[in-house]
Amino acid sequence: MSAASMVPGLGRRVGSLRSERRWALITAYVSLIIAAIVMLAPPLYMLLTSLKTSAEIADLGGNPWLIRTPTLENYTALLGNEMFRGFFINSILVTVMVVIVTMVISVLAAFALARMKFWGSQVLATGVFLTYLVPDTLLFIPLYQIVGGLGLLNSIWGLVLVYPTLTVPFCTWIMIGYFASIPKELDEAALIDGANWMQMLTRIFIPVALPGIIAATIFAFTVSWAAFVYPTAFITQPDSMPLTIGVVSQLIRGDTFAWGQLMAGALLAALPPVIVYAFLMDYYIAGLTAGATKG
């Protein structure tokens, strides 16, 4: 091929490359805009509904995606509702306790499994992973019997007891990954510096793996906040209900739904995880992906 015939060919190639790039970018933006509309429409519509009066909701004449007379009355009504505040308090209590229990259990176990080879540690690590694959819907009936036998049905303590099955395996699993990524020389240096196992954990491993600890804590928090199967099964009295089941079961009464209040309740209940997500998105995502990339 002569140089003369190559040059125009090259020019055409560059031009097509640029337009190829531009089309790829346009496709990307169109897809993402459609996806964002679909992904955000439901929460947006919930927000719109929660800001409407019951009369406006019941009026079939207008466009449901617009608000004519925005109001906060649904929110004030809910916040003034003692039962709803009770749901909130129950959710907070259960979640805080579960997060603490989970983190203590997982960090201790992950440290031992990542660093102190002992008899059966390999089996246990596999066991943790398998437990993670067992869904709550497989366990809730026997646990219903067990929790009932302990007299903890309709008590938030029953929830504190069983929620670790949702959180501990995954948190342990990702903490093992984070701890294992700490170079071995660091513990040897600490060992020579005179640290014992507990000092090594608290002075070296926990501070160094802090991003992992934050990610695991966020995971434990969101999972116990969103837990639905166990409270639905174990709690039937409104005063022990956490938010998820409380909103779903108690704000729906009879055939005339107070849709505005229901949506306001759902949004308020969803707020804490959303706030955590908004502020700690990178840790949140690190925790999500750690499970798969480390496993």
Partner 1 sequence: MAPDSSAAVAPARPPAARPPSNAMKRFARRRSTIAFLMTLPLISVIAGLVAWPASYAIYLATLNRRMTAFIGLENFDILLDNETFRAVIWQSCFFAITAVLLKALIGFWLAHMLHHLPTKGQRKWRGMLLVPWVIPPALSTLGWWWMFDPSYSSINYLLNAIGGPSIPWLGSPWWARISVIIVNVWYGAPFFMIMYLAALKSVPEQLYEAAAIDGASGWQGLRHITLPMMQNIISITVLFSLIVTFANYDIVRVLTNGGPRDLTQVFASYAFQVGVLSGNIPRGAAVSLFMFPLLAFIAYFVLKGVNQRNKEMA
Partner 2 sequence: MAQVTLRKIIKEYEGGVQAVKGIDLDIADHEFVVLVGPSGCGKSTTLRMIAGLEEITSGEIDIGGAVVNDVPPRDRDIAMVFQNYALYPHMSVYENMAFGLMLRKFPKEEIRRRVENAAKILDIGMLLDRKPKALSGGQRQRVAMGRAIVRDPKVFLFDEPLSNLDAKLRVQMRTEIKKVHQTVRTTTVYVTHDQVEAMTLADRVVVMNHGVIEQVGPPQELYHHPRTRFVAGFIGSPAMNFIPATVEARSGGLVLRLPQGIELAVPAARVAKYQAYAGKQVTFGIRPEHLTDTQHVSKADIAIFNAAPEVVEPMGMETLAHIRMEGAEICARLDPTVPAAPGVPMPLAADMGNMHLIDDATGLVI
Binders in 122-181 for partner 1, by CB under 8 A: 124, 126-131, 133-146, 161-162, 164-165, 168-169, 172
Q: Which helix (H) or strand (E) holds 81?
A: none
Distance of CA 88 to the CA centre of its chain: 17
Could you tell me which of 142, 165, 162, 141 has the C-alpha nearest to residue 152?
162
CA distances from 120 to 125, 163, 205, 221, 295 (A): 9, 26, 23, 30, 19
Q: Is the CB of 138 or the CB of 192 nearer to partner 2?
A: 192
Q: Work out whether 120 is an interface residue with partner 2 (CB under 8 A).
A: no
Q: Which helix (H) or strand (E) holds 37?
A: helix 3-50
Of the listed pieces 122-130, 134-142, 164-172, 203-211, which binds partner 2 according to CB under 8 A?
A: 203-211
Residue span 28-67 as binding mask against partner 1, x where in contact by CB under 8 A, dash where not: xx-xx--xx-xxx-xx-xx--x-------x--x--xxx--
Q: What is the DSSP letter of 79?
A: H
Cβ of residue 184: shortest distance to partner 1, in angstroms?
15
Q: Is the CB of 97 or the CB of 161 nearer to partner 1?
A: 161
Q: Is the CB of 208 or the CB of 229 nearer to partner 1?
A: 229
Q: Work out whether 107 is an interface residue with partner 2 (CB under 8 A).
A: no
Interatomic CA distance for residues 246 and 136, integer angstroms: 19
Q: Work out which of 203, 275, 279, 282 binds partner 2, going by CB under 8 A.
A: 203
Torsion sign across C-alpha atoms 40, 43, 47, 49: positive
Interatomic CA distance for residues 71 and 60, integer angstroms: 18
Interatomic CA distance for residues 241 and 260, integer angstroms: 21
Using CB under 8 A as the binding rule, the residues of this chain from 204 to 233 that contact partner 2 are: 204, 207-208, 210
Interatomic CA distance for residues 293 and 211, integer angstroms: 16
Cβ of residue 279: shortest distance to partner 1, in angstroms?
11
Binding partner at 93 among partner 1, partner 2, none, C-beta below 5 to 8 Å by kind: none
Using CB under 8 A as the binding rule, the residues of this chain from 24 to 63 that contact partner 2 are: none
**Number of residues this chain uses to bind partner 1 (CB under 8 A):** 94
Q: Work out whether 183 is an interface residue with partner 2 (CB under 8 A).
A: yes
CA distances from 247 to 88, 130, 238, 263 (A): 10, 32, 10, 9
Given the rule CB under 8 A, which residues bind partner 2?
183, 185-186, 188-196, 199, 203-204, 207-208, 210
